[in-house]
Structure 1
Amino acid sequence: MNDVPNRVPSHAPLDAATARSVQDELRSRVVLDESGPTPGTGHVTGVDVAYDDERDVVVAAAVVLDAATLTTIEEVTATGRVEFPYVPGLLAFREIPTVLAALERLTADPGLVVCDGYGQAHPRRFGLASHLGVLTGLPTLGVAKNPFTFTYEQPGPARGDSSPLLDTVDGAEVGRALRTQPGVKPVFVSVGHRISLDNACAHTLHLAASYRQPETTRLADSLCRRALAQATGL
C-alpha cells in the first residue's frame, strides 16, 4: 500500500465546519491531468461499506480482481464504529477510516480503486473516491446508482451510450450518465483521482460486462453485507 500521510487529520471525528475545511484543503491535491491505467490491465479493487446504524457499526470490504479476467485475487473486510454524524456531502468522514483499514489489510497491489459513490460528481467536488484517492495516492473513480444533485439527459439505449452529468449552477461536466447494459438505467461515473473521465467510463464498461453495476461493486457490496451480518449477529 502507498503511504497515507494525511490519514489522522483527514478522518478523525470532526464537526461539520472543520470537516468542510479539511475537504477544501485536500481537494487542492486531487490530480485531474492523468489518464490512469489501461482497462483490462493490472488489478482493480472494489470498495464498499455497510452500516448498522442502531449499533453504530460500519463494515468496509475491499475486493481485488484481475482486471483482464475479472477473477478474484483477494478479498478483505474491516469493522469499525461510526464516529461522524450523517451530514449530506460529508459521508466520506463516516466511511474513510474503515475503508482505509480494509485497504491496509490487502497483500495484493490494489491498482485502480472503484468506489460505490462519487468523486468529482459531488457538491464540493470531493466525494469518497476523490477523498480516498488523495489519502492513498491510488487512481480512483466513483460509480454511483443515482446522480445526486446533478442533471443529465437520458443517454441512448445501447450499451456504452453516455451523456454529460452537469452541475445545475455553473453547467460544468462533473461526470457522465453511462448505459452499461441495453435498456437498463444508467450508472453515474465520475473521476476520483489520477484518471480521466473517458478512461473511467471505459473501465466501468469493462467491469460491467454482464450487469448494470461493475463487478467490483457487486462483489464488494455482497462481501460487506455478509461481514456486517456476521459482526452484528444478524
Structure 2
Amino acid sequence: MTKLSVNINKIATLRNARGGNVPDLLKVATDLERMGAQGITIHPRPDERHIKYQDARDLVDIVTTEFNIEGNPIQKFIDLVLETKPTQVTLVPDTVDAITSDSGWDTVKHKSFLQEVIAQFKEEGIRTSIFVDPIPAMIEGARETGTDRIELYTESYATKYMTDRQAAVKPFIESAFIASDLGLGINAGHDLSLKNIEYFHNSIPDLLEVSIGHALIAESLYLGFETTIQSYLEKLK
C-alpha cells in the first residue's frame, strides 16, 4: 500500500492568522495519525509564514509515524534537519518568495551541490528524497546525487487530468519505470486530491508515498478530517 503523509502547512497558516495557538498544530498532527495518516509532512520556509522552525523541533517528539521535512537546503534548513533528524528530508528548489513549490531540481546542473547536501543527511541516517519533474534525464541525474528516493512533482498531472488523464499520467509512468530500474524509491506530491489520486496510484508502479496538504485540508472543511483521511487510504490500497 502507498503511504499517505499529510502536509500540515495549512494548519499552521490558520494558526498564524490570529497569532495564538488555535488550531494547535501538535494536537492536529497527533489526531491525524490517530485517524490513519501514515506520516506527517511540513515545509518550513525562510519567512516562517506558516510552519515555524520551532514547529519542527516540537513535532519531532510528537510524530510517531514518519516525519518528513521538505524545503530548499539553505544552511538554516540543513541545520534544522540535522538537529531534528526526521525520518525523511525532501529537498525542494524553492525560491525565497515562492508561494508554493513550482518545479523540480535540475539534477544535472546541481549535481555536485545535491551530492554534498545529501551526504550530510545520509551520514546522520536520514532518508533523502529530491523533488523532480517527470523528465528521464532528471531521474537519471537524481541517481548520481546519492538520494534514496525521488518525489515526482505532480502539478502537470493534476492540471491535465480532467481533459486527458492518460496523457497526463504517461510521463510519470515512464519516470517511475526509470526510477525503479535505477534503484530509486518513488514518492509523489503536489495538487493530488481525492479526484485524481486513485488513477495516479493505480498507474504508477512501486509508488511508496504521497504527500498531500492543500487539497486534503480543503476537502476536510467539508468532509471532516477522519472521513477524508479514510477516503484517501481506501484509494491508496
Settle same-fold status: TM greater than 0.5: no
What TM-score, normalized to structure 1? 0.35
Larger relative contact order, structure 1 or 2 (CA cutoff 8 Å, min sep 6): 1
What TM-score, normalized to structure 2? 0.35
Greater fraction helix: 2
Greater fraction strand: 1
